Amino acid sequence: MTPKGKGWLLGDFHIHTRWSDGHLSIREVVDLYGSHGFDVIAITDHVFDAYTLEQRRSRGEPVGLLPGIFNSYLKAVREEARRAWREYRMLVLPGWEITNDRGCYHIVGIDVKDFIDPDLTVEEIVEGLRQQGALAIAAHPGRRSFEKGPTFSCQHLKENMEQYRHLFDAWEIANRYDFFYDIWEKGLKFVAGSDFHREEHLNAWKTLIKTEKDPEGIKAAIRENSQVSAYLSRPAPEVKPRPGRLIKFPSPSAVSV
Ligand code: ZN
Ligand code: ZN
């Protein structure tokens, strides 16, 4: 990798693929983000706790990353990371999202090296991430607009924000289309991510970071959090001319040169 100097990097640190419940393969995700000019992404497929896993199995839903396939997943992410750098000069970091719906906490790990038991406590999971040199991110600490039913009242990290405020490297200030004002108000370190599952989520909250384009520089910049910015994009709104207000232009034959 060539050193590039410090500039603003466009990143997304919360992305799911077909290794859990996303609609695209890692390769498709890399091509999508790479062709849209991203500098860094993290692939963060779900690791479900035992209770959630049982629920998902009974409903026939994808079961995500199990210990037996974890090394194959890491290998697949690393292979695509090499291609992403070659073809797009985009960094791809291996990660996962511990999705513990029994304890009501989701934790995103970035630049992970090993599996961590998703049934551990929040403190134990974060300690495990520290030992791997990975980042620990508190995922979507607030109700998301698309959530229906009882899960939105299940917010362990939000309810214990003071207890955990210094435990995490950063908190998601925004997730997909939702902004969590508490994180801003309390002055917590932050990132923003799309919680990508489908192609349309390319237009959603992202992160801008001013640092060098290498994994250690990016992790250090998120930990320091002095030059991090949340960024929201969407497709240009469709503009329809309103009837009765159209401006009539003369026909070409009527224009004298
Ligand atoms: Zn989640
Ligand atoms: Zn997620």
Q: Give me ligand 2 centre to Cα 85, in Å.
A: 24
Is residue 22 a part of any domain in this protein?
yes
How many angstroms separate the alpha carbon of residue 5 from the centre of ligand 2? 31
Q: What's the CA-to-centroid distance between 44 and ligand 2, angstroms?
A: 7
> Does some domain include residue 1?
no
- In this predicted model, what pLDDT tens digit does every residue of 121-150 receive, in sequence order? 999 999 999 999 999 999 999 888 877 766
Q: Report which bound ligand comes closest to the CA of 106.
A: 1
Tell whether 154 is covered by a domain: yes
Instruction: Give the list of residues 6+ apart from residue 118 with CB closer than 8 angstroms, or none.
Output: 47, 48, 49, 50, 98, 99, 100, 125
Q: Which ligand is nearest to the CA of 201?
A: 2
pLDDT digits (tens, 9 = 90+) for 44-80: 999 999 999 999 999 999 999 999 999 999 999 999 9
Q: Is residue 128 included in any domain, yes or no?
A: yes
Residue 221 lies in a domain: yes
Residue-level pLDDT at 1: 42
Shortest-distance ligand to the CA of residue 21: 2
C-alpha span between 191 and 11 (Å, rounded): 9
- Is the pLDDT at 160 greater than 60? The verdict is yes
Smallest-distance ligand from the CA of 16: 2
The count of structural domains within the chain is 1
Q: Which residue has the tokens 């030992």?
A: 131
**Ligand 1 center to residue 1 CA distance, Å?**
32
Instruction: Output the domain CATH number for residue 76.
Output: 3.20.20.140
Is 84 part of a structural domain of the chain?
A: yes
**Between 207 and 150, where is the model more confident?**
207
Judged against a pLDDT cut of 90, whether residue 179 lies above it is answered with yes
Q: Does residue 95 sit within a domain?
A: yes
Specify the pLDDT at position 10. Answer: 97
Distances (CA, A) of 7 to 4, 122, 193, 221: 8, 34, 19, 12
Report the pLDDT averaged over residues 228-257. Answer: 66
- Judged against a pLDDT cut of 90, whether residue 251 lies above it is answered with no
Domain span at residue 41 reads 7-254
pLDDT, one tens digit per residue, over 8-45 is 999 999 999 999 999 999 999 999 999 999 999 999 99
